[in-house]
């Protein structure tokens, strides 16, 4: 499948992203290619204040680089700066 083809992905929102997007999960059909492009799209849509440079991402419950190509049925979770302890 070509990387730019339309695919269905699920986005799960955590912490402040969940509050700002006012949802914990959504499914979208998109031609967006990479995680960083997806974050920029969501940043615009939900007015996320945290810059891309401070975000990590997990696909299907594994950390991955922001340049990772999105695939059909991926579960994407953007991870804002962590603050445990």
User: Measured at the alpha carbon of residue 72, what is the angle toward residues 36 and 70, in degrees to the nearest 5?
Assistant: 15
Q: Is 5 in the site for another protein (CB under 8 A)?
A: no
Q: Is 46 in the site for another protein (CB under 8 A)?
A: no
Instruction: Choose between 1 and 82: whose C-beta lies nearer to another protein.
Output: 82
Instruction: Choose between 6 and 15: whose C-beta lies nearer to another protein.
Output: 15
Q: Is 61 in the site for another protein (CB under 8 A)?
A: yes
Q: What separation in angstroms does the CA of 6 have from each of 64, 67, 72, 82?
A: 21, 18, 8, 32
Q: In the chain, which residue ranges form alpha helices assigned H by DSSP?
A: 15-21, 35-46
Q: Please select the residue that binds another protein; options are 36, 37, 56, 69, rule is CB under 8 A.
A: 56
Q: Is 55 in the site for another protein (CB under 8 A)?
A: yes
d(CA 33, CA 48): 20
Residues that bind another protein (CB under 8 A): 14-16, 19, 50, 53-56, 58, 61-63, 65, 77, 79-85
């Amino acid at each position: 499948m070509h990387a730019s083809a339309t695919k269905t992905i699920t986005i799960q929102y955590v912490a402040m992203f969940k509050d700002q997007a006012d949802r914990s999960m959504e499914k979208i059909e998109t031609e967006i290619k990479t995680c960083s492009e997806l974050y920029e799209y969501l940043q615009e849509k939900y007015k996320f204040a945290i810059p891309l440079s401070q975000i990590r991402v997990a696909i299907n419950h594994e950390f991955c680089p922001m340049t990772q190509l999105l695939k059909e049925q991926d579960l994407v979770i953007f991870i804002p700066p962590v603050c445990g302890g």
